[in-house]
Amino acid sequence: MSVAIYRIRKNKISKKTGQLIPTPGAGLRLANKLNADVWTSKTNPSSIDDKTVVINYGRSLSPDWIEKFNTVSGKILNSTEAVSLAVDKRKTLKILELNNIPCLIWTTVRSQANNWLDAGFKVIARLTAKGKMGNGIVLVNPGEVLPDAELYTSFYEKTHEFRVHVFKGKVIDYVQKKKMGSEKLSKYGLSEANDIIRNHKRGWVFARHGIYNNEYIKTLAINAVESLGLDFAAVDILAKIDNDLHEVVHAVVCEVNSAPGMSDKNTFNAYTNAFNKYIESVNQVNEGII
């Protein structure tokens, strides 16, 4: 049985040898942990059969080997077609809407977004619909000029933000975004956390302790992943929570990430455990054990 991670080829030149070497990243870390090969779109595998398992880490490009892979009924986690829906936020939001899954109010029409501004609502202009880590996001307030963008979303007034990691219909990790403490903010050269773009560079961290743990949030994430046809993903969910009643007043899916960050060891271990169990189950089926 063979296992491979399908990822973008990222190389750098070694200062010692002058040769190209793979850059570190979640895909490479997974490959090392799972004792798996690393494939790119141009890889020419020596052998592919029904015992081959490929973990697609965020690649929407159909590789050269995919036709042969499908012919022999190999197992792939996250098809390139499903990943393409997650990569483009316009496609993601459209699919979520069609499946009646609460998501951000959105449009690709600038005049519609201007109507929101005229009505007194803030707008998030996403200069690229395939942006990562908050890149290309512009907050536009009523009265300000709306830039040309690939996607506009009505600003969601949240009280909490969650990231829910899902694998095969089950939640394997659940974290809540919280502001860094003053000491950590200072360490990163920040005076305060950015309330609009909530990521590590802007003063936010993922927390597991003292967080709001809610089954509805988890179900929302599971439904979002399944609607896109993904086997695994991380779902960012924005929520309005009544702190007195400890109830979710409203929640929406913000985005679905098919190449989830795994810098946190708990998240990384959750995925490697899930992948190992899946690989073992496939192996048992192939050997006729189950």
pTM above 0.75, yes or no: yes
pLDDT of 203: 63
| CB-based contact 177:201 (threshold 8 Å) | no
* CB-based burial label for 37 (10 Å; 0-12, 13-18, 19+): middle
* 174 beta partners: 164
pLDDT of 41: 86
pLDDT tens across 87-102, in order? 999 999 999 999 999 9
Q: What number of other Cβ atoms are within 10 A of residue 249's Cβ?
A: 10
Residue 3 C-alpha from the chain's centroid:
22
**Three-point CA angle 162, 188, 174, nearest 5°:** 15
Q: Which residues of the chain have pLDDT under 70?
A: 1, 8-24, 133, 180-203, 288-290
Name residues whose C-beta falls within 8 Å of residue 42's C-beta, 6 or more positions apart in sequence.
9, 63, 64
pLDDT of 132: 75
